[in-house]
Amino acid sequence: MNASVANAGPVLPPGMVMTVAAVTGLERDGSGFVHVRLEADAFAHAQPSGAAPVFKLFIPQEKGAHPPLPSFDAKYLPSWGDQKPPTVRSYTAVGFTPGSTVVAFTAVDRGAEHWWLDRCAVGDQLGFIGFRHEVVVPPSVSTVVAVGDVSAFGAVAALSRQDRDDVNVHAVLPTGSQWPEGLSMQRPQRVSTVAAGSTGFPRGSWADISGTAAVTESDCVLWLGGELAAVAALHADAVAAGLDPSRIFTQPYWRKGRTRDEFDGEMSILYQGALAAGEDISDRVTATRIELSAALCTSNTEEGQY
Ligand SMILES: Cc1cc2nc3c(=O)[nH]c(=O)nc-3n(C[C@H](O)[C@H](O)[C@H](O)COP(=O)(O)OP(=O)(O)OC[C@H]3O[C@@H](n4cnc5c(N)ncnc54)[C@H](O)[C@@H]3O)c2cc1C
């Protein structure tokens, strides 16, 4: 743990690390993605428990500033004390090897103004906490159906790196999208393309998608990464069709009309409410239900038009 942690909190769960990492690689490819390499000695202690491990970055508000790290309360809710809170963004490690001091990720470059990665350069430092949200495939299951928008391509590549040789990934990706240059799947995988809705997430019901992937509810897990309303709709459809919620790994990556900071603020209120109601927010299915309930808040008039 790094000395700049605000104050002592609970010990992080085994295999999880929080540290300051150096940006040691940052390459823009010709296909609209940025490939970033981070290095920190502490990464050698990170132990992902499954595929596609996720981490958060703490990005200082001022370029070149030392990244702050939070402290946590007993429920692992972060606090910044007297420090200026950083920008916080989540990404997915691609090809992390336990024991390695390198974490790499691929971010989609949407050409947004004032994008944090446009202000970032090799040599900068970022706060890091990870890993979480690893995908562990039950022994009876041999297919991961992964449905995502372009920002999920790094995660789809990471999902293809399964410990078990008999697990295949069937990726369902938006028609017409370009796969990032230099981002490889570990083994030959199946890929289908489906026309996207307005948020870039493949359109279609669970019946369409499971038919395309030729899976049934009993022999697959479903992974979803994309805009909140889009993933919430497909999640609800799959549950209604009989897929056990524990078989669905849902990542509401972003919310239309909100920055991730704003979306995280909404999530924080939902989590506080769930804690006050005595819910176990460490349970993955409960956490998913809490996060997807944000889709029911309809203050954005464009919600639902995915
Ligand atoms: C667990 C997890 C893992 C993730 N892994 C990855 C990853 O490996 N690679 C990756 O590229 N992204 C990943 N994401 C998604 C990424 O964190 C979000 O897209 C984040 O909002 C990007 O921050 P930003 O600074 O680009 O945009 P923000 O400042 O958060 O948002 C600015 C505007 O852009 C919109 N916006 C945000 N993201 C998108 C998008 N993807 N498409 C269209 N509009 C968008 C927002 O609604 C807002 O209006 C992950 C998210 C989560 C929760």
Kindly indicate the confidence band of residue 299, based on its pLDDT and cuts at 50, 70 and 90: low
- Number of domains comprising the chain: 2
Mean pLDDT of the chain, nearest integer = 90
Do 279 and 147 lie in one domain? The reply is: yes
Percent of the chain with pLDDT over 90: 78
Stretch 148-162: mean pLDDT: 96
**Is residue 55 reached through a cis peptide bond, with omega within 30 degrees of 0 on the bond before it?**
no
How high is the pLDDT of residue 10?
A: 67
Do 36 and 62 lie in one domain? The reply is: yes
User: Could you say which of 85, 107, 132 is where a domain stops?
Assistant: 132
Q: Output the CA torsion sign for 6, 7, 13, 17.
A: positive
Entry field: residues in the chain: 306
Query: Closest ligand 1 atom to the C-alpha of 256?
Result: 47
Does the C-beta of 300 come closer than 6 Å to ligand 1? no
How high is the pLDDT of residue 21?
A: 98
Span from the CA of 253 to the centroid of ligand 1 (angstroms): 6
Residues near 50 by Cβ (< 8 Å), separated by ≥ 6?
134, 135, 136, 137, 163
Do 109 and 151 lie in one domain? The reply is: no
CATH of the domain at 285: 3.40.50.80
Do 288 and 190 lie in one domain? The reply is: yes
Do 109 and 191 lie in one domain? The reply is: no
Query: Closest ligand 1 atom to the C-alpha of 108?
Result: 11
| Residue 160 falls inside a structural domain | yes
Do 126 and 58 lie in one domain? The reply is: yes
Span from the CA of 278 to the centroid of ligand 1 (angstroms): 30
How high is the pLDDT of residue 168?
A: 92
Residue nearest (by alpha carbon) to ligand 1 atom 15 = 253
Kindly indicate the confidence band of residue 9, based on its pLDDT and cuts at 50, 70 and 90: low
Do 48 and 78 lie in one domain? The reply is: yes
How high is the pLDDT of residue 7?
A: 44
Instruction: Confirm if 48 and 96 have CB atoms less than 8 A apart.
Output: yes
| Residue 220 falls inside a structural domain | yes
State pLDDT tens for residues 118-129.
999 999 999 999
Span from the CA of 194 to the centroid of ligand 1 (angstroms): 21
Span from the CA of 17 to the centroid of ligand 1 (angstroms): 22
Residue nearest (by alpha carbon) to ligand 1 atom 11 = 107
State pLDDT tens for residues 35-87.
999 999 999 999 999 999 999 999 998 888 899 999 988 777 788 888 888 99
CB atoms within 10 A of CB 165: 7
How high is the pLDDT of residue 84?
A: 86
State pLDDT tens for residues 161-216.
998 889 999 999 999 999 998 898 887 689 999 999 999 999 999 999 999 999 99
Does the C-beta of 206 come closer than 6 Å to ligand 1? no
Parent domain of 273: 143-296
Span from the CA of 252 to the centroid of ligand 1 (angstroms): 10
| Residue 161 falls inside a structural domain | yes
Q: Which two tokens stand for residue 83?
A: 């420090």
User: Could you say which of 104, 132, 160 is where a domain stops?
Assistant: 132
CATH of the domain at 127: 2.40.30.10
Residue nearest (by alpha carbon) to ligand 1 atom 9 = 107
Span from the CA of 259 to the centroid of ligand 1 (angstroms): 8
Do 204 and 264 lie in one domain? The reply is: yes
How high is the pLDDT of residue 11?
A: 78
| Residue 1 falls inside a structural domain | no
Residue nearest (by alpha carbon) to ligand 1 atom 5 = 91
| Residue 8 falls inside a structural domain | no
Do 74 and 128 lie in one domain? The reply is: yes
Do 217 and 291 lie in one domain? The reply is: yes
Q: Which two tokens stand for residue 286?
A: 């409960």
Span from the CA of 90 to the centroid of ligand 1 (angstroms): 8
pLDDT > 60? residue 301: no
User: Could you say which of 89, 111, 132 is where a domain stops?
Assistant: 132
Kindly indicate the confidence band of residue 1, based on its pLDDT and cuts at 50, 70 and 90: very low
| Residue 4 falls inside a structural domain | no
| Residue 11 falls inside a structural domain | no
Stretch 257-275: mean pLDDT: 93
